[in-house]
Structure 1
Amino acid sequence: MDLKDFLRQEDFIVKCQWGISLMNARLQMINAELSMRCGRKVIHSYSSRIKSYDSIAAKLRKKGLPETVRSMEEHVSDVVGVRAVCTYTDDLYRIGEMLCAQRDMRLLKKKDYIRNPKKSGYRSLHLIFQVPVSFQEEVRWIRIEVQLRTGAMDYWAGLDYQLQYKKENREAKNISRELKEYANAIEQIDSKVLELRKRIEAI
């Protein structure tokens, strides 16, 4: 089946949406537990998406792969994505650990772009899971990428995403250099804010 037609299938969309609902429910439960334990709200926002045909096709082309359903299933791990945004970096790792401890989900891959940022300056904790979805009397395993970021990382990533398709422009290259500098500044701010929170908690 053609990749574009496959992505339009109702059963594919329903399975993805079900997987998103399951992951969001886990994150909300983790947030409730951590917020109670810490005495403050831990996750401040949630978002989710199913990758568009254009995004998937562009990713496959970048890898030199054919634009087929099989290529997508074997080489694109972030077709379904969920994001949680927090204030503090240590909370991102707590949430990641609690997600990994869920017995009915399988961790496939962990990418720590906080400790090992991308060349662009991008920082985030990515966890790729398989989650079980009961569909048409069968259990199907859906891959979901969970992105955990601070608020500062999130708005930086939004700008970087907007720039991705304009990088051949001279001004875009200047902006890219500036963004890298601001990524370093954001890292310092995130570290300082975490330090201040710990000092306040110690009073």
Structure 2
Amino acid sequence: METLDMKQIKDLKTELVRFMMSYKFALAEVNTKIDILKQEFQYIHEYNPIEHVSSRVKSPDSILKKVKRKGYEFTLDSIKENIRDIAGIRITCSFIPDIYEVSKMLSNQKDIKVVEVKDYIEHPKPNGYRSLHLIIQIPIFLSDRVENIYVEVQIRTIAMDFWASLEHKIYYKYNKEVPESIRMELKEAAEASTQLDLKMENINEKVRKIKKVNDTKDAIQELSLDQERFYIPDVFFHSNLNTAK
């Protein structure tokens, strides 16, 4: 019986290690995909929509606290199916349109399955929080099995990320008991960050149009120069004809 118990403990430990490693591998897979998209986008379009990428795997303690809070079963299968943000990636973009472009590029990957989309940009949370959340599934090929792992992807602008990070710090400082007056100020700050995003997007669009016009002018000028280089005056032909006679 003692040997059987030790074997069970060893098997459980192996499964727990594999369980956590699967999420680490899933993050590595998604991070690689994002890095490829960044490099390809920069090379083809001479522009990188992604400013920063960070990732994390929830600690076992944090996972268990959430399981208890939500009332889920304390089994690996239940945790795997119900806790879908164990592996998380945050992508910070320059402008709001970049968020949807990055989301589309990820969603178009054949081995990525988009399970859920929560658009807190179109529909902000009551406290003013804005971000685009995707729950995706990605296959992880282990030595003896294939695991389909959930990964939460949050995509936001620099302004959204700035507000969310500081709002989290303030709530943590007050142990989530934030006075109503401060809640209102945070909401106003969220609205101000929204206006900043829209202003910067408008400026970027104007610059893009100016660049397009200037590129067109440069192309026309270059074409004119090419024509001048290869232009052969009619007098050349007349002089050659006279010489031939």
CA contact (8 A) 1:15 1:142 kept: yes
Larger-Rg structure: 2
TM-score normalized with structure 1 length: 0.87
d(CA) in 2 for partners of 1:169 and 1:148?
26
CA contact (8 A) 1:43 1:87 kept: yes
Identity rate, percent: 36
- 2:129 aligns with 122
Question: Which of residues 167, 173, 180 in structure 1 aligns to 2:176?
Answer: 167
Deviation at 1:176, TM superposition (A): 2.6
Question: Which of residues 124, 139, 148 in structure 2 aligns to 1:132?
Answer: 139
User: Map of 1:35-74 to 2, 5 A cutoff?
Assistant: 35-65=42-72, 68-74=75-81
After superposition, the C-alpha distances for 1:48-104 in whole angstroms (9 at most, x for unaligned) are 001123433443444344555444323221111011111111001001011111111
Structure 1 or 2: more strand by fraction: 1
CA contact (8 A) 2:85 2:151 kept: yes
Q: Which runs of at least 4 in structure 1 moved beyond 6 Å after TM superposition?
A: none
TM-score normalized with structure 2 length: 0.73
d(CA) in 2 for partners of 1:110 and 1:139?
24
Structure 1 or 2: more helix by fraction: 2
Q: What is the CA RMSD across the aligned residues, in angstroms?
A: 2.5
d(CA) in 2 for partners of 1:181 and 1:102?
38
Question: Which of residues 95, 104, 124 in structure 2 aligns to 1:97?
Answer: 104
d(CA) in 2 for partners of 1:133 and 1:23?
11
Establish whether residue 113 from structure 1 lines up as the match of residue 120 from structure 2: yes
For the structure 1 residues 59 and 160, does the alpha-carbon distance in structure 2 shift closer, same or farther, using more than 3 Å as the test?
farther
- Note the residue ranges of structure 1 that are not aligned, 5 or more in a row: none
Deviation at 1:31, TM superposition (A): 1.7
Higher RCO, 1 vs 2 (CA within 8 Å, ≥6 residues apart): 1
d(CA) in 2 for partners of 1:30 and 1:44?
13
- Note the residue ranges of structure 2 that are not aligned, 5 or more in a row: 1-7, 211-245
After superposition, the C-alpha distances for 1:119-174 in whole angstroms (9 at most, x for unaligned) are 1111111111110111123211110011111111112111222244422254xx43
**Count of residues in Structure 1 that have an aligned counterpart in Structure 2:** 199
